[in-house]
Structures are given as C-alpha cells and as structure tokens.
Amino acid sequence: MRHPQTRAVHPPVTEPVGSSPMGVPLYQGHLFSFDAADDLAAAFHDPGETFFYARMGNPTVRSLERAVTELEGGAGALATASGMGAISTVLMGLLRSGDHVIAQSALYGGTFALFQDLAERWGVDVTFIPGDDPAEVPDALRPTTRLLYLETVANPTTHVTDLPAFTEAVRGTDVLTVVDNTFAPLLCAPIEHGVDVVVHSTTKYLSGHGDVIGGVAVFADGDVHKRVWSHSAELGAVADPFAAWLTVRGMATMPLRVARQSASALDIAGRLAAHPSVTRVHYPGLPDHPQHEVARRLLPDGCGGVLAFELTGGRDAGRTFSEAVRLIALGPSLGHVSTLVMHPASTSHRQMDAASLAAAGISEGTVRLSVGLEHPDDLWSDIDQALAKSAAG
C-alpha cells in the first residue's frame, strides 16, 4: 500500500459504467493524462482533437461549442471567457495592422472602445456607417477592407440591421461579415443570411440567470474557425469549464425564456408608447420603429426582451425613473430572468462623446429596459409608479 500522502494525491476516479449521464458532465480539470507518449505528442501536434490542456480545449467547453454551433447553424465555435473575449479574439485573430474595417455606428460600448484601440494602437482603420442602407458599404469599401462588423439588434436603440442585404453588399469580395447576435439568439440565425462569424455574450440570454460571464464565436467556415482558434490559444481568453457548464444548462430553457421575454417586452413597449410622459419607445415590434419592416422579415418570432424609451423630462427624468423602480433592478446587463433598467448615457455608453452618442441614436434621457420573466402586469405597476415619480421631478 502506498503512503497516505500519495493516495491523497491520486484518489480513485469514478466513470459511469453501463449508464450515461443526463446532461453535460462538468470536467473542471485543465489537464488530461495519457498512457502513450505518442498520443500526448499527437495531441500537441493536432490540438483540438484530443484534450490535453484546457486552453486548447475541454470536453465541457466543447459541449457548449457544439450546442451553439447547432443553434447558429455553423461549422464550429469557440467559447470564450466573456463576450468581449469572443469579439477581441475574432477581431485580433482576423486583422493585422493596415487592414480596414467597416462597422455600424450603433455598437455595444465595449466593442466601440475596442475599435478605437485597434485604430489608435494597432493601425487598423475603421469606417463607421449608419447601417440603414446597404449602399453605404460600397461607398466605404477599400482594397484593404477585411471585415464588415454589424449587430443584429443594437444596444440600446434596438436598431435592426438588414443582414441579408448587407451580406449581399460584400458578396464577391473577400470581406468577412461578423455579427454580434447577443440580443437575438434563436430569433435570428445570421449564418442563414450569409454572415461568416457570429459572436454572443453568453453572459446574457444563453446562460440567462446572471451567474455566468462568457462568450462564444460561431463560424460558417471551418478554415476561419481554425485561424481564430490558433489566435485564441495565444490570447488565452478561453471559457472556464464551470461557466461553460452553467451556460449549457441555461440554454435548455432559453426557448421558453426568450419567447416569454419577447412577448412581455412587446406588451410593455405598447403600454409605454401610450403613456403621456413617454416621448418615444424604441422596440422593433412596434409599427413606428424605423426598421419594423426589416424586423418582420429577420425576427418573425419576436424581437427579444430589450427596449428603450425616452421621457419628456430628459436626463433628470431618466435618472429619477431608474432609481424609482421597486421590483425592477437598477443594474447593467440584459437577458436576465429579472427585469433590469439602466441609463446608457452615464453607464454603458459613457466612452462616447455627444457626436458619437447622437450617431448611435442615443439621447441623454434614453432609458433601457431588459424585460425578464416576471408577470407583465406586475412590471407595468412598477413602471407606472416610477413614471409618475419621474414626471413629478
């Protein structure tokens, strides 16, 4: 018998025999051992096929990658430590200095900051376009253009980009289209519309319960996946197995959550639009939304849980409203089971100056709501009393 110290380091490992686990098992370990030296050597040689070190792959993380590959209809996926991890891994994996990117101006704040950094420190030129008309693309195109970067539904204005029309605008060039689909999982599958790379913050709808920070990139083409995967092994912003496990578990209920959140958001958007203190509601499901017709084509099953609105009282009223809610929580993020409220101009979009804010369609008083799973009548009671307080000043 070996000594207790030795046995403590080498406990027996139990694997199921004669039965299979229900659901995805959690392999939290970062390393795997081998019987044959040749097998370990082969794993180093062709990483990704055999698990040996978790920065290059882990079975739980791979289960998430396969689930999201199926969800988005891609050839493969790469799970990352956060949504920004996915976006920076993709952009840095596909771009080099001297390259040019065309990006829509209504962007997630962190992505906008990353593009500024890429321009200032890494020599990647970025042209921002409104994203309203595909004719903007040929005007911005240069011989050095490598990427077209879009968001299905943009934060917080809920601008909807006509993905089939924009991918058509770069057809026949070697420009790859990257789309952030964080706001519309299940509702839209951008690869079906000709998109090359889809990114998600799995922190939001995919995990869904506010207990994960994570991201994923899905690739229509296996070679693009390989290129970004090699960079990912260097950058190291890969998903932790436990976060991946929580995300796969959350995805089981995503169809129910997203359907309910979309239905409730449409209901709340309609009630807000009829309220005298509200000057404007941004929700693609409302007939007066600028891209309502695009949304009917691109998001036929619902427009997601996020909406924004503007109050007659401007910035002060927006801030008062966000503090006056009782059931709804004042906090960042979206896609949570709980309803959340935020004031973008002072928080998520604080990096933007007045001109960039205006270009992104955000005013000082814009309030964003991420509708959760509470009963819509309870949500409306809370919103109604907060609107009364914000109108009173």
Residues carrying an active site annotation: 55, 108, 180, 204
Q: How far is the CB of 153 from ligand PLP (least distance, A)?
A: 8
Q: How far is the CB of 331 from ligand PLP (least distance, A)?
A: 13
Q: How far is the CB of 370 from ligand PLP (least distance, A)?
A: 9
Q: Does residue 203 belong to the site contacting ligand PLP (CB under 6 A)?
A: yes
Q: Which stretch binds ligand PLP (CB under 6 A): 60-68, 200-208, 225-233, 275-283?
A: 200-208
Q: Which stretch binds ligand PLP (CB under 6 A): 19-27, 121-129, 176-184, 244-252?
A: 176-184
Q: How far is the CB of 201 from ligand PLP (least distance, A)?
A: 3
Binding mask 134-173 for ligand PLP (x = CB under 6 A): ---------------------x------------------
Q: Does residue 177 belong to the site contacting ligand PLP (CB under 6 A)?
A: no
* Residue number, 110 or 314, with CB nearest to ligand PLP: 110
Q: Does residue 112 belong to the site contacting ligand PLP (CB under 6 A)?
A: no
Show the tokens assigned to 59: 């079975």
Residue 117 backbone phi and psi in degrees, to 5: -65, -45
Q: Does residue 110 belong to the site contacting ligand PLP (CB under 6 A)?
A: yes
Calculate the alpha carbon distances from 19 to 15, 64, 321, 330 in Å.
Answer: 10, 22, 54, 46
Q: Does residue 182 belong to the site contacting ligand PLP (CB under 6 A)?
A: yes
Task: Kindly tell me which residue out of 100, 193, 204, 289 binds ligand PLP, with binding defined by CB under 6 A.
Answer: 204
Q: Which stretch binds ligand PLP (CB under 6 A): 180-188, 260-268, 319-327, 353-361?
A: 180-188
Residue 355 backbone phi and psi in degrees, to 5: -65, -45
Q: Which stretch binds ligand PLP (CB under 6 A): 1-9, 60-68, 201-209, 217-225?
A: 201-209
Q: Does residue 210 belong to the site contacting ligand PLP (CB under 6 A)?
A: no
Q: Does residue 207 belong to the site contacting ligand PLP (CB under 6 A)?
A: no
Q: Does residue 213 belong to the site contacting ligand PLP (CB under 6 A)?
A: yes
* Residue number, 106 or 169, with CB nearest to ligand PLP: 106
Show the tokens assigned to 187: 């509702």
> Does residue 156 have a cis bond before it (omega within 30 degrees)?
yes
Burial class (CB in 10 A: 0-12, 13-18, 19+), 337: middle
Residue 151 backbone phi and psi in degrees, to 5: -125, 135
Q: Does residue 48 belong to the site contacting ligand PLP (CB under 6 A)?
A: no
* Residue number, 51 or 149, with CB nearest to ligand PLP: 149
Show the tokens assigned to 177: 């289209």
Q: How many residues bind ligand PLP (CB under 6 A)?
A: 14
* Residue number, 278 or 371, with CB nearest to ligand PLP: 371
For residues 387 and 278, the answer to whether their CB atoms sit within 8 Å is: yes
Q: How far is the CB of 380 from ligand PLP (least distance, A)?
A: 25
* Residue number, 183 or 219, with CB nearest to ligand PLP: 183
* Residue number, 191 or 278, with CB nearest to ligand PLP: 191
Q: Which stretch binds ligand PLP (CB under 6 A): 77-85, 244-252, 260-268, 320-328?
A: 77-85
CB-based closest residue to ligand PLP: 83
- The rounded distance, in Å, linking the Cα atoms of 324 and 137 is 43
* Residue number, 204 or 343, with CB nearest to ligand PLP: 204
**Footprint on this chain of ligand PLP (rule: CB under 6 A):** 82-84, 108, 110, 155, 180, 182-183, 201, 203-204, 213, 215
